[in-house]
């Protein structure tokens, strides 16, 4: 798959403040790449440099292999969708979608066809003659998407476009955006701080923290094999166990020796030193058992009913809590002494650079 967009050392500073450290990313043709991270991590600034709305302080931007670092935003062939719908209140839905095409001086027949296609894609054709004030938030977001899609840009940038929607509508729009991405075949670069949204939508996720890339990987790789303690704790629910290496294959956690052989990451992390090490165990990977059979032991502190399953929170001897997802037929009782176990291949030994 060819490279559609590339940043080479692209960075941004404001005086002494570093908004984005020099960053190298290659985005593939037709890919859905999500920039994910907490507030202040630099993801929106990076998107704005790609769009041309913010000039970089260093580095290069290439589109289709051509230098575009200082190309005007309107000449980059990029579409933009923001969290604020930015619809013209005095224009109908149809005129809002047609606005960008008129600015590009589309001839009338081609313009009408493009508007019809865009409204059909977002399933809003029957609302063409309404005004923004007559639409729900989700419908307004669809029109903002249609306005961007109408002229078929090859790269579409979306900056937290679903942030203003309620949970149910946001989840529905995630699936709609995924569908539209497949229909358009364009390259999408999407900014969000919502990890579930990133996992749902993305071909790859660029996880950012403190103005730099923490990890760039597929959703499954990021979830199953996080490259750092930050990545392990930011993506999904996690149990991070802290301990010291007794030897190359054992970690002392809560006064018990955990075998590391078979853990993800153990094959590249066999150095023994006095620093703390961390093992990640996802709640769905763990099981409750008799205390005598557990890798760890603890007391059931709380049970949370989630519908399809129950999350049991186990208080370990140190006072830390360990989360276990239990099937509905398993009914742990608060106060019970239990053991916790898991298969080694479903645990991840985090690399040395993950130390805080």
Instruction: Tell me: do 9 and 113 sit in the same domain.
Output: yes
Instruction: Tell me: do 331 and 212 sit in the same domain.
Output: no
Instruction: Tell me: do 73 and 91 sit in the same domain.
Output: yes
Q: By residue range, what is the domain housing residue 325?
A: 237-354
Say which CATH number the domain at 334 has: 2.40.50.140
- Residues 58, 64, 68, 72, CA torsion sign: negative
Look up residue 192 and give its two tokens.
Answer: 């969000």
What pLDDT does residue 329 have? 72
Instruction: Tell me: do 52 and 144 sit in the same domain.
Output: yes
Region 312-320: mean pLDDT is 95
Q: Which of 229, 246, 263 is the last residue of a domain?
A: 229
Instruction: Tell me: do 242 and 145 sit in the same domain.
Output: no
Look up residue 275 and give its two tokens.
Answer: 């620093």
Instruction: Tell me: do 273 and 150 sit in the same domain.
Output: no
What pLDDT does residue 355 have? 44
CA-CA-CA-CA dihedral for 260, 262, 264, 267, to nearest 10 = 80
Q: How far apart are CA 228 and CA 237, in angstroms?
A: 15
Q: Is the pLDDT of residue 113 over 90?
A: yes
The 10s digit of each residue's pLDDT in 151-186 is: 889 999 999 988 877 888 888 889 889 988 998 899
Q: Residue 308: pLDDT band by 50, 70, 90 thresholds?
A: confident
The 10s digit of each residue's pLDDT in 140-153 is: 988 999 999 998 89
Q: Could you tell me where the DSSP H helices lie in the chain?
A: 43-51, 93-103, 108-121, 137-149, 167-184, 195-201, 219-224, 229-234
Task: Give the count of domains, the chain.
Answer: 2
Instruction: Tell me: do 35 and 154 sit in the same domain.
Output: yes
3-state secondary structure 251-318: EEECCEEEECCCCECHHHCCCCCCCEEEEEECHHHEEEECHHHCCEEEEEEEEEECCCEEEEEEECCC
What pLDDT does residue 305 have? 85
Instruction: Tell me: do 180 and 283 sit in the same domain.
Output: no
Q: Which one, of 80, 77, 152, 155, lies nearest residue 117 by Cα?
A: 152
Instruction: Tell me: do 124 and 243 sit in the same domain.
Output: no
What pLDDT does residue 356 have? 43
What pLDDT does residue 161 have? 87
Q: Residue 116: pLDDT band by 50, 70, 90 thresholds?
A: very high
Q: How far apart are CA 252 and CA 295, in angstroms?
A: 11
Percent pLDDT > 70 in the chain is: 96
Instruction: Tell me: do 30 and 151 sit in the same domain.
Output: yes
Least confident of 175-179, 196-200, 270-274, 318-322: 270-274
Q: Which of 229, 250, 275 is the last residue of a domain?
A: 229
Q: Which residue has the higher pLDDT, 204 or 248?
A: 204
What pLDDT does residue 268 have? 59
Phi, psi of 354 (to 5 degrees): -80, -10
Percent pLDDT > 90 in the chain is: 68
Instruction: Tell me: do 85 and 147 sit in the same domain.
Output: yes
Say which CATH number the domain at 7 has: 3.40.50.300
The 10s digit of each residue's pLDDT in 281-301 is: 999 999 999 999 999 999 999
Cβ atoms within 10 Å of 292's Cβ, excluding its own: 7
The 10s digit of each residue's pLDDT in 56-97 is: 999 999 999 999 999 999 899 899 998 777 899 999 999 999
Instruction: Tell me: do 199 and 262 sit in the same domain.
Output: no
Q: Mean pLDDT over all residues of the chain?
A: 91
Q: How far apart are CA 59 and CA 221, in angstroms?
A: 28
Q: Is the pLDDT of residue 266 over 70?
A: yes
pTM over 0.95: no
Q: Which of 202, 229, 256 is the last residue of a domain?
A: 229
The 10s digit of each residue's pLDDT in 195-222 is: 999 999 999 999 999 999 999 999 999 9
């Amino acid at each position: 798959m060819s490279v559609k967009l590339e940043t080479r050392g692209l960075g941004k500073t404001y005086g002494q403040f570093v908004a984005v450290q020099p960053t190298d990313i290659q985005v593939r043709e037709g890919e859905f790449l999500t920039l994910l991270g907490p507030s202040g991590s630099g993801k929106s600034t990076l998107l704005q440099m790609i769009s041309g709305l913010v000039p970089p302080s260093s580095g290069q931007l290439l589109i289709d292999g051509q230098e575009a670092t200082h190309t005007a935003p309107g000449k980059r062939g990029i579409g933009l969708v923001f969290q604020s719908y930015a619809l013209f209140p005095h224009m109908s839905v149809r005129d809002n979608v047609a606005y960008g095409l008129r600015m590009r001086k589309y001839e009338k027949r081609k313009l009408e066809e493009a508007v019809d296609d865009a409204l059909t894609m977002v399933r809003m054709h029957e609302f063409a003659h309404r005004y923004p004030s007559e639409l729900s938030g989700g419908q307004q977001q669809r029109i903002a998407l249609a306005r961007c899609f109408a002229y078929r840009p090859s790269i579409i940038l979306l900056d937290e476009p679903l942030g203003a929607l309620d949970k149910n509508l946001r989840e529905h729009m995630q699936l709609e955006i995924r569908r539209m991405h497949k229909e358009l075949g364009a390259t999408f670069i999407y900014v969000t701080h919502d990890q579930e949204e990133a996992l749902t939508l993305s071909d790859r996720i660029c996880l950012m923290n403190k103005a730099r890339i923490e990890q760039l990987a597929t959703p499954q790789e990021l979830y199953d094999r996080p490259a750092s303690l930050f990545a392990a704790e930011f993506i999904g629910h996690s149990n991070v166990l802290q301990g010291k290496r007794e030897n190359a294959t054992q970690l002392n956690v809560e006064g018990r020796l955990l075998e590391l052989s078979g853990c993800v990451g153990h094959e590249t992390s066999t150095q023994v030193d006095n620093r703390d090490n961390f093992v990640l165990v996802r709640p769905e990977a763990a099981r409750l058992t008799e205390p005598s059979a557990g890798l760890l032991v603890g007391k059931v502190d709380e049970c949370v009913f989630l519908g399809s399953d129950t999350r049991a929170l186990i208080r370990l001897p140190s006072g830390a809590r360990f989360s276990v997802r239990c099937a509905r037929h398993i009914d742990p009782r608060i106060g019970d002494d239990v053991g916790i176990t898991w298969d080694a291949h479903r645990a991840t030994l985090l690399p040395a650079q993950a130390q805080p």
